[in-house]
Protein backbone atom coordinates (compact mmCIF):
# COMPACT_ATOMS: atom_id res chain seq x y z
CA UNK A 1 0.00 0.00 0.00
CA UNK A 2 2.77 2.42 0.92
CA UNK A 3 4.68 1.60 -2.26
CA UNK A 4 1.59 2.33 -4.34
CA UNK A 5 1.16 5.78 -2.73
CA UNK A 6 4.88 6.56 -3.30
CA UNK A 7 4.55 5.67 -7.03
CA UNK A 8 1.50 7.91 -7.30
CA UNK A 9 3.39 10.80 -5.65
CA UNK A 10 6.26 10.44 -8.10
CA UNK A 11 3.82 10.33 -10.99
CA UNK A 12 2.16 13.53 -9.77
CA UNK A 13 5.62 15.17 -9.57
CA UNK A 14 6.36 14.19 -13.15
CA UNK A 15 2.97 15.44 -14.28
CA UNK A 16 3.57 18.72 -12.41
CA UNK A 17 6.90 19.26 -14.16
CA UNK A 18 5.41 18.41 -17.54
CA UNK A 19 2.60 20.79 -16.78
CA UNK A 20 5.11 23.59 -16.10
CA UNK A 21 6.80 22.97 -19.42
CA UNK A 22 3.43 23.11 -21.14
CA UNK A 23 2.57 26.39 -19.41
CA UNK A 24 0.22 24.76 -16.91
CA UNK A 25 2.53 25.03 -13.85
CA UNK A 26 1.19 26.46 -10.61
CA UNK A 27 1.44 30.22 -9.96
CA UNK A 28 3.56 29.58 -6.88
CA UNK A 29 6.11 27.59 -8.88
CA UNK A 30 6.29 30.22 -11.59
CA UNK A 31 6.75 32.94 -8.96
CA UNK A 32 9.54 30.99 -7.29
CA UNK A 33 11.45 30.56 -10.53
CA UNK A 34 10.91 34.21 -11.45
CA UNK A 35 12.31 35.35 -8.09
CA UNK A 36 15.30 33.06 -8.55
CA UNK A 37 15.99 34.50 -12.02
CA UNK A 38 15.56 38.05 -10.68
CA UNK A 39 18.03 37.43 -7.85
CA UNK A 40 20.55 35.98 -10.32
CA UNK A 41 20.17 39.04 -12.55
CA UNK A 42 20.59 41.42 -9.59
CA UNK A 43 23.70 39.52 -8.45
CA UNK A 44 25.23 39.87 -11.89
CA UNK A 45 24.36 43.57 -11.97
CA UNK A 46 25.87 44.15 -8.52
CA UNK A 47 29.03 42.32 -9.55
CA UNK A 48 29.31 44.40 -12.73
CA UNK A 49 28.83 47.61 -10.72
CA UNK A 50 31.53 46.62 -8.25
CA UNK A 51 33.96 45.79 -11.06
CA UNK A 52 33.24 49.14 -12.73
CA UNK A 53 33.80 50.96 -9.43
CA UNK A 54 37.09 49.18 -8.81
CA UNK A 55 38.22 49.98 -12.35
CA UNK A 56 37.39 53.67 -11.90
CA UNK A 57 39.27 53.77 -8.59
CA UNK A 58 42.26 52.07 -10.16
CA UNK A 59 42.31 54.58 -13.03
CA UNK A 60 41.72 57.70 -10.90
CA UNK A 61 44.59 60.14 -10.52
CA UNK A 62 46.04 61.45 -7.29
CA UNK A 63 46.74 65.17 -7.02
CA UNK A 64 49.10 67.15 -4.83
CA UNK A 65 46.95 68.58 -2.00
CA UNK A 66 45.43 72.01 -2.70
CA UNK A 67 46.55 71.93 -6.33
CA UNK A 68 45.31 70.68 -9.69
CA UNK A 69 48.68 69.07 -10.35
CA UNK A 70 49.04 65.31 -10.63
CA UNK A 71 51.01 63.84 -7.75
CA UNK A 72 54.49 62.65 -8.74
CA UNK A 73 58.00 63.02 -7.40
CA UNK A 74 59.05 65.51 -10.08
CA UNK A 75 55.90 67.60 -9.75
CA UNK A 76 56.29 67.77 -5.97
CA UNK A 77 59.86 69.07 -6.33
CA UNK A 78 58.66 71.77 -8.71
CA UNK A 79 55.81 72.83 -6.43
CA UNK A 80 58.13 72.96 -3.41
CA UNK A 81 60.49 75.23 -5.35
CA UNK A 82 57.60 77.50 -6.35
CA UNK A 83 56.52 77.67 -2.72
CA UNK A 84 60.06 78.75 -1.87
CA UNK A 85 59.64 81.57 -4.38
CA UNK A 86 56.20 82.50 -2.99
CA UNK A 87 57.45 82.73 0.60
CA UNK A 88 60.46 84.80 -0.46
CA UNK A 89 58.08 87.18 -2.21
CA UNK A 90 55.83 87.56 0.85
CA UNK A 91 58.82 88.00 3.15
CA UNK A 92 60.49 90.51 0.79
CA UNK A 93 63.57 88.31 0.90
CA UNK A 94 65.41 89.96 -1.96
CA UNK A 95 68.59 87.91 -1.58
CA UNK A 96 66.58 84.69 -1.91
CA UNK A 97 64.68 86.01 -4.93
CA UNK A 98 67.94 86.95 -6.66
CA UNK A 99 69.39 83.55 -5.77
CA UNK A 100 66.60 81.59 -7.47
CA UNK A 101 66.45 83.90 -10.50
CA UNK A 102 68.49 82.81 -13.52
CA UNK A 103 71.15 85.22 -14.88
CA UNK A 104 69.42 84.64 -18.24
CA UNK A 105 66.10 85.89 -16.83
CA UNK A 106 63.98 87.80 -19.32
CA UNK A 107 60.40 89.09 -19.27
CA UNK A 108 58.87 90.65 -22.37
CA UNK A 109 55.89 92.22 -20.59
CA UNK A 110 53.41 90.38 -22.78
CA UNK A 111 53.52 92.95 -25.61
CA UNK A 112 55.78 94.30 -28.35
CA UNK A 113 56.93 97.36 -26.38
CA UNK A 114 60.59 97.04 -25.50
CA UNK A 115 60.26 99.47 -22.59
CA UNK A 116 58.23 96.82 -20.72
CA UNK A 117 60.94 94.19 -21.12
CA UNK A 118 62.88 93.19 -18.02
CA UNK A 119 66.12 91.22 -17.89
CA UNK A 120 68.07 90.13 -14.82
CA UNK A 121 69.63 93.55 -14.15
CA UNK A 122 66.38 95.46 -14.53
CA UNK A 123 64.50 93.01 -12.30
CA UNK A 124 67.24 93.21 -9.68
CA UNK A 125 66.99 97.01 -9.77
CA UNK A 126 63.25 96.77 -9.09
CA UNK A 127 63.69 94.23 -6.28
CA UNK A 128 66.29 96.32 -4.50
CA UNK A 129 64.33 99.58 -5.01
CA UNK A 130 60.56 100.02 -5.37
CA UNK A 131 59.79 96.47 -4.21
CA UNK A 132 61.19 97.20 -0.76
CA UNK A 133 58.71 100.07 -0.35
CA UNK A 134 55.78 97.64 -0.33
CA UNK A 135 54.42 96.08 2.86
CA UNK A 136 51.85 93.54 3.98
CA UNK A 137 52.42 91.37 0.90
CA UNK A 138 50.07 88.40 0.53
CA UNK A 139 50.56 86.10 -2.45
CA UNK A 140 48.29 83.07 -2.65
CA UNK A 141 48.73 80.52 -5.43
CA UNK A 142 46.54 77.78 -6.89
CA UNK A 143 48.78 75.58 -9.02
CA UNK A 144 47.03 74.42 -12.18
CA UNK A 145 49.57 72.57 -14.28
CA UNK A 146 53.25 71.58 -14.51
CA UNK A 147 54.60 70.92 -18.01
CA UNK A 148 58.01 69.42 -18.79
CA UNK A 149 59.08 70.36 -22.32
CA UNK A 150 61.56 68.76 -24.70
CA UNK A 151 63.63 71.95 -24.56
CA UNK A 152 64.28 71.42 -20.81
CA UNK A 153 61.93 74.23 -19.84
CA UNK A 154 59.41 73.58 -17.08
CA UNK A 155 56.24 75.63 -17.22
CA UNK A 156 54.23 76.13 -14.06
CA UNK A 157 50.78 77.57 -14.70
CA UNK A 158 48.89 78.96 -11.72
CA UNK A 159 46.27 81.43 -10.57
CA UNK A 160 47.33 83.95 -7.94
CA UNK A 161 45.59 86.36 -5.61
CA UNK A 162 47.92 89.16 -4.53
CA UNK A 163 47.52 91.98 -2.02
CA UNK A 164 50.10 94.58 -1.01
CA UNK A 165 50.43 98.07 0.43
CA UNK A 166 52.41 100.96 -1.03
CA UNK A 167 52.96 104.44 0.38
CA UNK A 168 50.26 106.92 -0.65
CA UNK A 169 49.95 110.68 -0.32
CA UNK A 170 48.31 110.44 3.10
CA UNK A 171 48.61 106.79 4.09
CA UNK A 172 49.53 103.37 2.75
CA UNK A 173 47.25 102.24 -0.04
CA UNK A 174 46.14 98.66 -0.54
CA UNK A 175 46.32 97.08 -3.99
CA UNK A 176 44.77 93.78 -5.04
CA UNK A 177 45.10 91.62 -8.12
CA UNK A 178 43.85 88.21 -9.21
CA UNK A 179 45.22 86.76 -12.41
CA UNK A 180 46.83 83.78 -14.14
CA UNK A 181 50.58 83.50 -14.54
CA UNK A 182 53.28 81.13 -15.74
CA UNK A 183 56.71 80.59 -14.27
CA UNK A 184 59.38 79.43 -16.71
CA UNK A 185 61.92 77.23 -14.92
CA UNK A 186 65.10 75.39 -15.85
CA UNK A 187 66.96 72.79 -13.84
CA UNK A 188 69.95 73.89 -11.80
CA UNK A 189 71.71 70.86 -10.29
CA UNK A 190 69.25 69.55 -7.67
CA UNK A 191 67.03 72.63 -7.83
CA UNK A 192 65.71 75.11 -10.40
CA UNK A 193 66.17 78.67 -11.64
CA UNK A 194 63.46 81.06 -12.78
CA UNK A 195 63.85 82.18 -16.39
CA UNK A 196 60.67 84.27 -16.51
CA UNK A 197 57.35 85.01 -14.89
CA UNK A 198 58.34 86.61 -11.59
Confidence of residue 170 (pLDDT cuts 50, 70, 90): confident
Q: Is 92 left (phi over 0), alpha (psi -120 to 50) or beta?
A: left
Spatial distance between the Cα atoms of 16 and 26, rounded to a whole number of angstroms: 8
CATH class of 73-196: alpha beta
pTM: 0.69
The alpha helices in the chain, defined as continuous H runs, are 2-21, 27-59, 73-90, 94-100, 120-127
Q: What is the pLDDT of residues 85-122, one digit of tens each?
A: 999 999 999 999 999 999 999 998 666 666 778 999 99
6-20, 57-71, 81-95: least confident range:
6-20
Q: What pLDDT score does 38 carry?
A: 56
> Domain segments of the chain: what residues?
2-59, 73-196
Amino acid sequence: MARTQERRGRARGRISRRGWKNGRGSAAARGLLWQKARLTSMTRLSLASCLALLASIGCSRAYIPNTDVEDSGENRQVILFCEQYRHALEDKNVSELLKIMSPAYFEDGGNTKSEDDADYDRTREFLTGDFLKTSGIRYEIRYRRVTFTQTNHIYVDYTYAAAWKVPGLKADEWHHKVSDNRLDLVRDHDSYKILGGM
